[in-house]
Structure 1
């Protein structure tokens, strides 16, 4: 029987990252699962191809990676222009035909396909056990991460962990089964991966597996599984990462202008010259009316909702997160007029994100206080997926919800607050009040960062509160239908055509 690694929306043409970070093509990474894998070099190329499948533009390299997460209050988009795909989900009116949402579906599946390839074949390679195990551990981690993104975004999806007939159309597996597979993969990754890879930024290590596992357990304690016993497991995994290996940078802004820094636990790597640009920094979150001296202008793709900005804590982190003074190039094409974000001269009358402008040391937007020198849509900025503050806040919330908000829980959230320029959190809070404080802290620590706010809204069912706090100046919400149906995105329509026995998610 003809076997292959089935994935919906299969995309088999691969680029490869030799040794995970060298952006050079390797044809071995393009071969079918049964064909190659003889040396460690072959295996390295195949593992590198997993990372690339997540990093490319059709996956997580562009703002489309968070299309269905625009229902959160940290993301909104232009009321017109060519932003309909983002705007539909911002209005809670997204549909299965949304073309940008496909990146959220196909990106993880492409990575899962390559991970299955590695995990089925790695043992055949002529290499040391340590080297092979390190490769397998990365594949387990990346497969788990792919499924974690899929199950949180779409709910039940097929659970494919090995070869399958090319004509098969597997059912969507229950959410609980998918999480069980994620946990199994991350436990395997923990056992196979080293604590760190020396001189190899971007490779998932044992600490990345533990940090992701902590986040998985925290999510499982909320909707839809509501398995509150997992809070204690989240504490255990997060504690394993809080050993001094990672530290918070002193300056919040530096997180977004440097790569692979002391709080970056796992990040996708990008290289413009190598054909893998990061395109959600730089121009993407720049006002349409801002024009650089080199003639480039903003794309106006995404920015925060007005009340999300207005409700931010008064601190240095807020100042470094939001861009509130718009630079308007004047008729002489040299001087700039500075206006407030809500001035009549502005297009959207919204604040923007400052932290996503510069890219890597200014390869996105290069500017002074009074002018914009250059602006680029493609940057070399690594995309941080897991930062140390996530571990601290996951630990704090899980600790409070399992055994109460003790000193360790306060210490964890206060470490994040101190870096932000905030005082200690009020003591004596109930477990629920402490959790709410952590969720608020997470919203602003990770504002605009790849669905983190949206997934808090989903697991805690916060849409009613978010909608109630929304300014009437935002894109009008679609209030028809059941609000509870909006926590999951629809399965892309083409996948429904390919799998006629599947039932679409409720509300679509």
Structure 2
């Protein structure tokens, strides 16, 4: 982490620890005086602050960024302990007063406001147009990313693209208008950003903008917009990334989750424990409560997959690298461990866990051998990949097949993912619908447990009835009178509803 980045982090932490920030507050006004934007270094530091707003613990640095996504089958949590916020959404019973939901709302908004400040002021900086545009391009990308998660999670949200007065109470804009703003920002990002930033991992580039745009167009083909015309656009954007030749799936699947910035990482948030910016959704969060290391540290039991999601996984090396199925129970001597199956009556939860999120960066999460656990840490330096190349390949496969029927290129895209997973090529001759279902299944296990990827497929394809029907009776129970059709959107947090009395809460909350 460079000095300027670290200084901005200090400023951000000082402000954020002073209290919660509402939708109508302007973090940039608190961070710097009006004369801040003078040099390129000033501008670059302010762009770094946008990344931090998204990546910090109160936003996307911890498991609570996925609170409402616990309705998915790749996420469940403990039936007791202190996991009620996650458990309520796992039961499709979460409400607007859920404390952990705030991270899903505040994190993107704080990033959006910081991006707005950069976009409003970057042209005033004394620098070259190329450097200024590169800074602005990153701000446009990050603003689009924030809105993309907000609109898919909460539905209609205000489109705020300029600095606003603290007393403003903007209305919620329709979903189609929010998507139009996202697309406009990503088109600007494509225009301003270079194809890559050599030696500077973590900076959004043109390929990240194109990859995100492909995903945006694909989402628009499903609920609630159902705009099938966007299949062609999704395929075209994904294909542009594929044709760049800058990414591949040659890194072993397990290695992707134990190292940083692999050959398939298109965009990821960079973390630095010593700099005060840890990733806390790896390590302890994904470790069973039953597991206690020789140094006395233990798992937090925050999240793991549902039983039948695990049981329905394909038999392949990717599945072996994804799921943790042998629990290590420390014995009374404090040094040796008894190995038991995930469904042993000796375990607390009776579930498999996620192996791929345990290690963190080269073991700075869980330090272990096949038979022992030395330490379990909650804070890691692991990059969190928001966009991996397989997301692009599978977007292309689905979009191209749904646009004009499965082609050889459609099959090749999904087969690249399957080959790395240790699976045979997909059966040929499938209908467009059957091919799409195969892609959705592939994406479920390629991205199992990864920041809403599975949940957003469930949302756009309205899959909750199917998911619930295959749910094990051993999971946290869903109330019998639940109106499933109202559970695809999360509620607006209660404090935001109080600040904006003209808003109407999402149906069912």
Report TM bin, short chain.
Answer: over 0.9
Q: Would you say 1:331 and 2:335 are equivalent positions?
A: no
Report the Cα distance in structure 1 between the residues aligned to 2:232 and 2:5, rounded to whole angstroms.
34
Q: Name the counterpart of 2:161.
A: 161
Aligned to 1:418, the other structure's residue is in SS state helix
**Equivalent residue of 2:43, what SS?**
helix
Preserved contact between residue 92 and residue 482 of structure 2 (Cα < 8 Å): no
TM-score (norm 2): 0.95
Distance in 2 between the 1:66 and 1:479 partners? Answer: 24
| Cα displacement string for residues 279-326 of structure 1 (whole angstroms, at most 9, x for unaligned residues) | 000010100010001110000000000000000000000000000000
In the TM superposition, what whole-angstrom CA distance separates every residue of 1:334-359 from its partner, at most 9, and x where no partner exists? 11000000001000000000000000
The list of structure 1 runs, each at least 4 consecutive aligned residues, that deviate by more than 3 angstroms after superposition, is: 16-35
Alignment of 1:6-25 (within 5 A): 25=10
CA contact 2:204–2:267 (8 Å) conserved in 1: yes
Work out whether residues 18 and 48 of structure 1, in 8 Å CA contact, stay in contact via their aligned partners in 2: no
Structure 2 stretches of 5 or more lacking a match? 13-26
Count of residue pairs brought into register by the alignment: 493
Q: Take 2:356 and 2:165, find their aligned partners in 1: how far apart are those partners?
A: 46
2:212 is aligned to: 212
Residues 329-368 of structure 1: matches in 2 within 5 Å?
Answer: 329-368=330-369
The separation in 2 between residues aligned to 1:248 and 1:56, in whole angstroms, is: 28
1:203 counterpart SS class: coil
- Report the counterpart of residue 134 of structure 1 in structure 2: 134
Q: Is the 8 A contact 2:8 2:45 kept in 1?
A: no
How do 1:202-241 and structure 2 match up within 5 A? 202-241=202-241
- CA deviation after TM superposition for structure 1 residue 251, in Å: 1.0
CA contact (8 A) 1:17 1:24 kept: no
Q: Are 1:75 and 2:75 an aligned pair?
A: yes
Contact kept, 8 Å, 2:11 with 2:31, in 1: the verdict is no
Instruction: Give the distance between the partners of 1:378 and 1:298, measured in 2 at CA.
Output: 12
Asked if structure 1 preserves the Cα contact closer than 8 Å seen for 2:8 and 2:48, the reply is: no
Counterpart of 1:413 in 2: which secondary structure? helix
> TM-score, normalization: structure 1?
0.95
Distance 1:326 1:434 in 2: 36
SS in 1 for 2:487: helix
Is the 2:113–2:163 Cα contact (8 Å) retained in structure 1? no
Q: In the TM superposition, what is the alpha-carbon distance from 1:17 to its structure 2 partner? A: 7.0
Q: Secondary structure at the match of 1:215?
A: helix
2:55 counterpart residue number: 55
The 5 Å alignment of 1:208-357 reads 208-243=208-243, 244-357=245-358
3-state DSSP of counterpart to 2:386:
strand
* Structure 1 unmatched ranges of 5 or more: 1-15
1:34 deviation in Å? 3.8
- Aligned to 1:332, what secondary structure does the other structure show? coil
Matches within 5 A, 1:91-240: 91-240=91-240
**1:429 matched to which residue of 2?**
430
**CA deviation vs aligned residue, 1:26-45 (integer Å, no higher than 9, x gap):** 68975357442000011011
Shift of 1:259: 0.5
**Inter-CA distance 202–19: structure 2 relative to 1 (3 Å threshold):** farther
Relative distance call for 1:408 and 1:19 in structure 2 (3 A) is farther
Pairwise CA RMSD: 1.5
Per-residue displacement from partner, 1:255-283 (whole Å, max 9, x unpaired)?
Answer: 10011111000000100000000000001
Q: Secondary structure at the match of 2:176?
A: helix
Secondary structure of 1:386 counterpart: strand
Contact 1:26 1:45 in 2 (8 A): no
How far did 1:146 drift? 0.2
